[in-house]
């Protein structure tokens, strides 16, 4: 399958049902600050936007082969999306409530194709 920014943006914002959506706090890659972003989970792609009204995603995380686990962090209700490998990035996210965190952890764990092995 060939994907480009335009097709990803369309897929991220199309009217088809989503697997999960809502606000999460995302820890910056280079900076330790958390930023509130709107997240949309479709299949094994986790899109994030500046806010819920945005029409183009700021980024996308392909969840294939990831693990999702709770972590100790400055933010309450934090969890991490980790990938295998020494240079692989870990995404630290935080929900706004315990219920939201549990829902996201379950949805993201199901979205990773690695759990089928």
How far is C-alpha 51 from the chain's CA centre?
Answer: 14
CATH of the domain at 27: 2.30.29.30
What is the C-alpha to C-alpha distance for residues 80 and 105, in angstroms, rounded to an integer? 9
* pLDDT reading at 99 higher than 70: yes
> What is the domain count for the chain?
1
Mind listing the pLDDT tens digit for each residue in 14-66? 777 899 999 999 997 777 789 999 999 998 999 999 999 998 999 999 998 89
Burial class (CB in 10 A: 0-12, 13-18, 19+), 63: buried
117 assigned to some structural domain = no
Higher-scoring residue by pLDDT: 73, 77? 77
Q: Is the model's pTM score more than 0.95?
A: no
Question: Over pLDDT 90: what percentage of the chain?
Answer: 58
Q: pLDDT-based confidence at 113, cuts 50/70/90?
A: low
The answer to whether 79 and 70 have CB atoms below 8 angstroms apart is yes
Which structural domain range is residue 47 located in?
3-112
* pLDDT reading at 9 higher than 80: no
Q: Where are the beta strands (DSSP E) in the chain?
A: 20-27, 34-42, 45-49, 59-62, 67-70, 78-82, 91-94
* pLDDT reading at 95 higher than 90: yes
Instruction: Tell me the average pLDDT of the chain.
Output: 87
């Amino acid at each position: 399958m060939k994907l480009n920014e335009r097709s990803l943006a369309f897929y991220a914002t199309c009217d088809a049902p989503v697997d999960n959506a809502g606000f999460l706090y995302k820890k910056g890659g280079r900076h330790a600050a958390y930023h509130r972003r709107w997240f949309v989970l479709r299949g094994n792609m986790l899109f994030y936007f500046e806010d819920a009204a945005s029409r183009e995603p700021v980024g996308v995380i392909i969840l294939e082969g990831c693990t999702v686990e709770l972590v100790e962090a400055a933010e309450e209700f934090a969890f991490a999306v980790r990938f295998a490998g020494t240079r692989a990035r870990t995404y630290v996210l935080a929900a706004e409530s315990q219920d939201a965190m549990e829902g996201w952890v379950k949805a993201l764990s199901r979205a990773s194709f690695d759990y089928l092995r």
